[in-house]
Amino acid sequence: MFDRLRKDIAAVMERDPAATSAWSAYLHYPGLKAIRWQRRTHWLYEHGHSFLARTISQWIRHRTGIEIHPGATIGERLFIDHGMGVVIGETAVIGECVTIYQGVTLGGTGKDRGKRHPTIEDNVVIGVGATVLGNITVGRGSKVGGGAVVVNDVPPNCTVVGVPGRVVVREGARIDVVDLHHEDLPDPVVEMFKCMQHRIDRIDARLSREP
């Protein structure tokens, strides 16, 4: 237990330049608090104490602004930055060294039973306000841009932006000019208007050639 806690604190120190000390990370970071308690409620949930687990998880939600269902499976070194508004569903699976920013939802798409929430593989970054829905997989090393809505599987080592989410980088090959930092991803609305302008220019050129 203490070894896992040390790893979770180390993840905060490595990925947040504002973290000044391990004690500050332990005492002041709501994401770390939510993760610590979820590991306990997950044990209760797995051992048949679902009511108690849900009660504690709701208390932690009010304390931190982060809602993680006790049934979710979370790997080591998860970092939830700020965290307000983060929602992680019951059957979500999160790998190791994942980074999640505030306002992210790992949700379901209906009332289906069984596996109905996403699987997030190792070393994934999910940007501010992104939504990942359904029993899909975000592959190892991929990035989900802020505000993206992802409803289909994402291959490993890709960058996804937009609504619905589309791949703009695959295995290092840039489909659009984009940096891999979540705050610098291209604006999908601007890209859409550029495409529309290009089509209008083509239509104008065609009409100008007609008698």
Domains of the chain listed by start with CATH number? 1-76 (1.10.3130.10), 89-185 (2.160.10.10)
The model's pTM is 0.75
Q: Are 62 and 84 in contact (CB under 8 A)?
A: no
Q: pLDDT tens digits for 117-142?
A: 999 999 999 999 999 999 999 999 99
Which backbone phi and psi does 78 adopt, to 5 degrees?
Answer: -70, 135
Q: pLDDT tens digits for 16-64?
A: 888 888 888 888 889 999 999 999 999 999 999 999 999 999 999 999 9
